[in-house]
Chain A
Amino acid sequence: MELGLVLDGSRPPSELLELAQAAERHRLAMVVVDPDDLDAWTLAVWIAGSTDTIPVVVPAEPDVEPVPTDPATPYPQVVAHAARSADTLAPGRLTRTEPFWVRAEAGAPAPALRDLAGADGTVVVEVADPEEVARLARELGLDERPATHRSPAVRARRRPGIDYDGVPASLAERAVEPGDPGYQAVSSTYLRGGAPGLVLRPRTPEEVADALAFASRHRHLPLGVRSAGHGISGRSTNRGGLVVDVGAMDEVTVIDRASRLVRIGPGATWKKVARTIGPRGWAITSGDYGGVGVGGLATAGGIGLLSREQGLTIDRVRAVELVLADGQQVRASATENPDLFWAVRGAGASFGVATAFEIEAGPVSRAVGFAQLVLVVDDIADALVTFGEVASAAPRDTTVFLVTGRPQGGRSVVQLFGVVDSDDGEVVVERLNPFVRLGLLAQQDVRLVPYADAIGWAPDVGPEGHHGFGEPVSRSAFVDAVTPALARDAADLLRSGAVHFFQLRTMGGAIADVDPQATAFAHRHAAFNVAAMGSSHDALRPGWERVRQHADGLYLSFETDTDPARLADAFPPDTLARLRELKRRYDPEQLLRDNFAIDPATPVAAQETLS
């Protein structure tokens, strides 16, 4: 049987809400909104907005032909539109329907309710207080139903091939399936639309192990691993598959002041990291956008606005704790599982789900120069070459990135943004001056701000989650210099209109200090990472392939092409061979494969790159 609660609107709002929350807590089938004074629809929507899961039902009134002079009868078409809107705001939760339930007398005892409902029926009753809800739920055995219990309406939206009733108990409470109210908020990521069949949201390494055990029983489905949802190459959402979302593990704690060692959960965003440690005069280089998560970036590389000074993010990582595909919890560092530590820094997504990172922050000026310049240039190829020279010649305290798009009317708008790690205004201006040569300065905004502000302009992701849709299309390449030949091909690509976002991320400096063999990220010689985003791979390909002729390798985080040949671009032969060997050891059945999947079995003869 199912039990529902009747909400009588003459009580104060706080009591109505407590009753609805009690109904939700005890997993009642619904609340029926039947006020005598308040507007029923307004109350129902408000209850739905104030709760997360409980279905809210408004008894339907018979349709009345509208008379424009009647001030009290709504227009049926407006009512229908309101119902559609409610379904958008709280999917599947708000219904206006003829009663399909039996209504019991207020205060009816449990046995009477059971009799009225029968085996499959629904009975609704008005109760005095939340305690009565708890008592009825207990007496009717509603509390004992497993956390996986879902109403028939929710079950109808389940996807094939998933053992929903077998979700481990530790995860059931927070698991989200398509009919659940919080579903939309967990289905998309920042740049990608998705409709996973089940999202598991572990909070501890043990729960991650439970989630991976469950995933192992679902190898026939895609599996996405998600931290903060900014994956481009990383398919941290999918259609009909599973997602393990470790976003809740987002703590940032200083564990050793003297060595500036910070322990960080994978779900933390770099904005949060920067804000937390900034006041100590510390920073950890990440990327250029504070909304990006630690989990995805610190396992892949991390080319950021302090990179020329601090190296890649992975170069600052001192230890990683992860759960392996078989559920084992391990620590990897220079002294513990060193081969895993090597692999996790550059190809981490293939080796485990990271649950904590220990990262050594670097000292940073309390205020750094943060510059955003907009220049208009006539010859984009020329400007790219100049940028290449200036950006690489700059001292290590200066990291500047370039973004441009399709030229308009023969002219390109070039945006430069970057950080000068100095709180001396004169030094900042001196460092930036050479960049102004690129073209006509149209806008400039140079400020001395805490480093956290330089990457922190990313808005917070609210409770409604990410809003990405479709699939991102992005290509990536490393280049040793912006040569005139490269710049010419890049300019042609831009003019083709196939690219709406073209970026040069400056590397070199401390990145190049590290031995290419020291981590799974081998491209230490690169001076720039080139990223080109467009709306279609097919449109992008011809122009991109010409740019790629000048390239050597790629940064996996910005590459969405799934051709197996890309693996050989991401990892040079020695690195790839070692990764395959380790994959055979750590994840032979290839459970973790949502981001540059490394095939453990076939050491494919390294395919030639497209050059």
Chain B
Amino acid sequence: MTLPDYVLGTFVTPSARDARQVLDLVQAADRGGLDLVTFQDHPYQPAFLDTSTLLAFAAARTERVHLAANVANLPLRPPAVLARAAASLDILSGGRFELGIGAGGFPDAIAAMGGRRLTPGQGVEALREGIGIIRQVWDTETRGGIRVEGTYYRAAGMKRGPRPVHDIGIWVGAYKPRMLALTGELGDGWLPSWSYLPDGWASYAEMNARIDDAAAAAGRRPEQVRRMLNVMGGSFGPSSDELLSGPPRVWVEQLLEARHEHRVDGVLLATDDLATTERFAAEVAPAVREQLAA
């Protein structure tokens, strides 16, 4: 099952206390026909469910929707562990898994869990090596074990596989120039959050351009990198200046504008409200898809 070119989905808080509500939100997205459900990954946050565990559980409880971390914390999730879990879940779910990945913030919290402390620059390089290893684990065509002599990771003859059943997209959470360049060079997708874009659409365009340049330099086409956007909140109450607030009609207009004017290939709505999720799926998503198909 490949993900459609244009994606609408959700970004659900993996709250341990509200675990059952989290599952309700996932199932509402699945039932309602949204494309993707994602969870943030902060393994050092005890109030959150372990994202890898939640993803596997959610996959078992859903039928159609794709799942991804938004984004997996590489410093605490060694790349081969991540790659194997991802491929296993892809196999078990019938090709419904995508891999969101990031270099991880919060160095103190990471260190407290036994992870290593890296500067932002080192984080980018570790991610580059990590993505290389992930792709090698998935590549079961090449013979022999995996050898890595990196600065951050080393392996001598590590086992390959399992092999995912569909081409899992590797989507990078990136804002800074080096990370954006890495996204353009190696990523299949870009996963920024609206609230972190200092100048809104202007920032989105500027970051997109950096991804384009890096992609071109690596001999890739710009459309090989899916441009996503996480949007926090969203409300069907009265219209306001915020993105996605107002009646469904306003959401549809804004999403179409985001697609046409700002190259947004997919929006993930960060909400923990069931009714909002249901309405997003029932009243917004079909209308946007219909207009895009027209």
| Interfacial residues, chain A to chain B (CB-CB below 8 A) | 9, 13, 37-39, 41-43, 45-50, 66, 68-78, 81-82, 84-86, 88-90, 184-185, 443, 457, 459-460, 462-465, 467
Contact = CB atoms under 8 A, between A and B. Distances in A.
B56 A72 contact: no
B154 A70 contact: yes
A63 to B, nearest CB: 12
Contact of A71 (B43, B59, B113, B133): B133
A462 B27 contact: yes
B148 A42 contact: no
A462 B23 contact: yes
B166 to A, nearest CB: 14
Which residue of A47, A66, A69, A73 has the most chain B CB atoms within 10 A of its CB atom? A69
Contacts of B76: 75, 78
A68 B151 CA distance: 11
The winner among B18, B148, B158, B162 for most chain A CB atoms within 10 A is: B162
Contacts of A69: 150, 152-154
B88 A39 contact: yes
Contacts of A90: 57
A88 B52 contact: no
A74 B91 CA distance: 21
Nearest to B237: A443
A464 B60 contact: no
B221 interface: no
Nearest to A447: B247
Considering the complex of A and B, which 6 residue pairs feature the smallest CB-CB distances, nearest first? A49-B60, A464-B20, A45-B56, A72-B80, A85-B50, A462-B24
Contacts of A185: 20
Contacts of B77: 74, 78
B19 A70 contact: no
B52 A71 contact: no
B54 interface: yes
Interface in B1-46: 16, 18-21, 23-24, 27-28, 43, 46
Contacts of B161: 37
B116 interface: yes
Nearest to B277: A459
Given A70-B78, A185-B20, A464-B23, 17 more contacts: A39-B88, A46-B57, A47-B60, A49-B60, A68-B115, A71-B155, A72-B78, A74-B78, A76-B114, A78-B43, A81-B46, A89-B49, A459-B278, A460-B274, A460-B278, A463-B23, A467-B18
Contact of B162 (A37, A68, A72, A443): A37
B81 interface: yes
B253 to A, nearest CB: 18
Contacts of B115: 68, 75
B87 to A, nearest CB: 8
A86 B89 contact: no
A70 B79 CA distance: 9
B114 A77 contact: yes
B153 A71 contact: yes
B258 interface: no
Contacts of B93: 46
A72 B158 contact: yes
B234 interface: no
B275 interface: yes
A444 to B, nearest CB: 9
A73 B114 CA distance: 12
Interface of B: 16, 18-21, 23-24, 27-28, 43, 46, 49-50, 52-54, 56-61, 76-81, 84-85, 87-89, 91-94, 113-116, 130, 133, 148, 150, 152-155, 158-159, 161-162, 237-238, 274-275, 278
A88 B49 contact: yes
Nearest to B56: A45
11 contacts: A9-B88, A70-B155, A71-B78, A72-B80, A74-B78, A75-B43, A78-B77, A82-B53, A459-B24, A460-B274, A467-B20
A465 B49 CA distance: 19
B14 to A, nearest CB: 8
Given A72-B80, A75-B114, A85-B54, A49 B59 contact: yes
Contacts of B89: 39, 42, 46
Contact of B81 (A72, A464, A465): A72
B77 to A, nearest CB: 7
A85 B53 contact: yes
Contact of A73 (B54, B81, B238): B81
Nearest to A89: B57
B116 A88 contact: no
A64 to B, nearest CB: 12
Contact of B60 (A46, A72, A75, A459): A46
A449 to B, nearest CB: 13
B233 to A, nearest CB: 17
Contacts of A89: 19, 23, 49, 53-54, 57
B114 A457 contact: no
Contacts of A41: 52-53, 56, 85
A463 B61 CA distance: 10
A390 B162 CA distance: 70
A58 to B, nearest CB: 12
Contacts of A37: 161-162
Nearest to B27: A462
A307 to B, nearest CB: 24
A463 B79 contact: no
B129 to A, nearest CB: 9
Contacts of B274: 459-460
B24 A48 contact: no
A567 to B, nearest CB: 35
A85 B28 CA distance: 21
Contacts of B114: 66, 75-77
Contacts of A68: 115-116, 152
B88 A43 contact: yes
A76 B85 CA distance: 16
Contacts of B113: 75, 77-78
Contacts of A42: 52, 56, 84-85, 88-89, 92
Contacts of A73: 78, 81
A435 to B, nearest CB: 18
A77 B115 CA distance: 10
A457 B87 CA distance: 39
B94 A48 contact: no
Contacts of A48: 57, 60
Contacts of B238: 443
B264 to A, nearest CB: 28
A88 B43 contact: no
A186 B229 CA distance: 37
Contacts of A72: 78, 80-81, 155, 158-159
Contacts of B78: 70-75
Contacts of B50: 78, 81-82, 84-86
Given A85-B50, A86-B53, A464-B24, A71 B80 contact: yes
Contacts of B84: 38-39, 42
A75 B77 CA distance: 8
Nearest to A49: B60
Nearest to B130: A71
